[in-house]
Structure 1
């Protein structure tokens, strides 16, 4: 990076269930206004904008941003499946780091429908259709499951078969998420559940997954103001949160050959992105104090501990059972409640993670605050595929 990049402002609205939210225009505009107010600047200072969403027509980003201001700046619409929000952040950070702009808006929003994720196009090839044989060959014994559940559940089952991981461990991850979310006023679900509650919930895949182990469809929005340190200082903005390193990866050939569900759901992408961030920054997984990672399913949270280097391959169950994923442990994971309890509005998730970690580094996370945070890691994954890992530091 040629320019030091700082997060000057963040904004987020409370997430809600489909059918109970405002329109995407209202949600997105409110998140932008919150981020601008948090930064202490007006919209006229923003020089570029990257707007992320998955389910929407072309130029929805302009439709949202025009509610805040119309200054003629470039607005780029971003769609990268569940990593859309962090992709918008990646592009905003890149624009500032390369000196193309000094003040950039990264925005994510989603107005979702109830039920499992689905394609809205039935007259053309589906994404990853070329690799459907991997899923069919490894999970052909189950039928009638939504694609995401089958993929991530299959990856969880593979870990169980390889390393003896128990279904109760995934339930413990979900219970931990609920305890964290209870302290987050912006989370969708704030009710605390136990490991037993999760195990006793509706079975989605016998021996592998219950309903509570999957994140809910959610509506919401979040935004961040990304600036050069020089711009921030010139305008009297805060510079206490810096993006130290960031990497985006897509699927290597190994994601599909040899066939592995853990690889199929992004294991190689996450591991490579994390390694690149550690190499760029000079820090390692042992230095991370807090992490917001992509727990679309409890199974994926467990797999991601290993991909990010928080524990050895096959050691994730011990990491969970030792309490190393929560307060008092080694890495406080998803203090926001994560996707499992906070909710997962696809386009907004990556920027909601940025919101949480910015407040953790500022020391303003209230009852969620992790003591003495100096380094915070973000992991956001989208099948299709893309994975963005971001390291934030206290400047």
Structure 2
């Protein structure tokens, strides 16, 4: 794989409802990036490259954001990969360390979003997900907005194919809202009963409003470093190693399977996870804590199967057995996940990394997973890309 890579500093803002706080993206970046630098105990001039992710913004917003931390002339790369933008920035920063190009790199992501469902910015050109939507419309009647339609359709297919129930999907919403009660960074920190989840506004298929991630404002930042940098700056006590990482984009099966489940990225996830397990020399049974992309409750259940936590079609059994919460086989989304923590697209992957770093350091406070030593991160963006990352405590 190349040189070893370590997370040495993390930071994030609280995720907020759009417009709830008077701030702009440079303010978000300054807060998250400043926290990451302080966590690492280093000054910004030691950062040699920066990768800055956002989905909604103007060109070179990455520079404007990072300039809040300093002006050192380093390469700053703007990153946009839909909902996997944050983890894509992390993938690039990690790659720079692993290749030996640099010893210290920053991955930063932010989003300043409009309220309501996601929409397109440009209407005079092909939409990047049009091929996916047209393929899905051949399988299930088209509905708006597109994102809940796609993931709701995948949930409907799972129900028809395997007998999964609306209640099983809803229980994922119950779990993640419950977990977020202990997360001061979460946009929502309210607990809901199963009936409240099921009775909230229906969006599409089995999805109700309380099973869907909200639009959010916020930022996250991660500093990664080489083994030499860790030793030189005496950071071993807080460093967490990235022991496996893979990015996968759409495969022939995405479209050839004629399956809603494939169209929302299950095969991308399955392929990336297999590569990460091989790189890290681990399997699902070795993992203690997972942050995965629950943009909708249906996707969390699909991802259980794609990550190999259970056989295909058996995700509902994990839910029924409480296998994915405290006291179970894994704790999935202790942060509250996207459903409750929020989903500022460019920041999500870096917030996931921050949470897992705290978990492996044993500093996650009331969210702490006892004895956590191996963690897995999954972040997906349709259109499409998925990044899976494995972490190990030193």
Which TM-score tier does this pair reach, normalised by the shorter chain? Answer: over 0.9
* 4+ residue segments displaced more than 3 Å: none
Structure 2 counterpart of 1:215, from 210, 213, 216? 213
- Within 5 Å, give how 1:337-356 maps onto structure 2: 337-356=336-355
Deviation at 1:130, TM superposition (A): 2.8
Distance, in Å, in 2 between the alignment partners of 1:307 and 1:261 is 14
Distance, in Å, in 2 between the alignment partners of 1:375 and 1:55 is 33
Q: Does 1:203 align with 2:167?
A: no
Aligned 8 A contact 2:207 2:296 in 1: no
Distance, in Å, in 2 between the alignment partners of 1:130 and 1:226 is 36
Deviation at 1:240, TM superposition (A): 3.3
Total equivalences in the alignment? 392
Deviation at 1:198, TM superposition (A): 0.3
SS class of match (2:188): coil
Aligned to 1:317: 316
SS class of match (1:138): coil
SS class of match (1:393): strand
Aligned to 1:261: 260
Distance, in Å, in 1 between the alignment partners of 2:150 and 2:305 is 18
SS class of match (1:88): helix
Distance, in Å, in 1 between the alignment partners of 2:36 and 2:95 is 19
- Within 5 Å, give how 1:100-111 maps onto structure 2: 100-111=101-112
Aligned 8 A contact 2:356 2:375 in 1: yes
SS class of match (1:242): strand
Aligned to 1:13: 13
Distance, in Å, in 2 between the alignment partners of 1:208 and 1:379 is 23
Structure 2 counterpart of 1:235, from 233, 236, 239? 233
Deviation at 1:137, TM superposition (A): 1.1
Deviation at 1:237, TM superposition (A): 2.1
Deviation at 1:195, TM superposition (A): 1.1
RMSD: 0.9
Give the TM-score taking structure 1 as reference length.
0.98
Aligned 8 A contact 1:53 1:79 in 2: yes
Distance, in Å, in 1 between the alignment partners of 2:53 and 2:203 is 31
Aligned to 1:271: 270
Distance, in Å, in 2 between the alignment partners of 1:199 and 1:131 is 28
> Gapped runs of 5+ residues in structure 2?
none
Q: Does 1:329 align with 2:333?
A: no
Deviation at 1:302, TM superposition (A): 0.4
Q: Does 1:226 align with 2:212?
A: no
Distance, in Å, in 1 between the alignment partners of 2:250 and 2:304 is 19
SS class of match (2:392): strand
Deviation at 1:20, TM superposition (A): 1.6
Aligned 8 A contact 1:139 1:150 in 2: no
Aligned 8 A contact 2:230 2:239 in 1: no
- Within 5 Å, give how 1:1-395 maps onto structure 2: 1-21=1-21, 22-140=23-141, 143=143, 145-205=144-204, 208-238=206-236, 240-395=239-394
Distance, in Å, in 2 between the alignment partners of 1:247 and 1:232 is 23
Deviation at 1:323, TM superposition (A): 0.3
> Gapped runs of 5+ residues in structure 1?
none
127-136 vs 179-188, which moves further: 127-136
Distance, in Å, in 2 between the alignment partners of 1:66 and 1:280 is 35
SS class of match (1:101): coil
Distance, in Å, in 1 between the alignment partners of 2:139 and 2:29 is 40
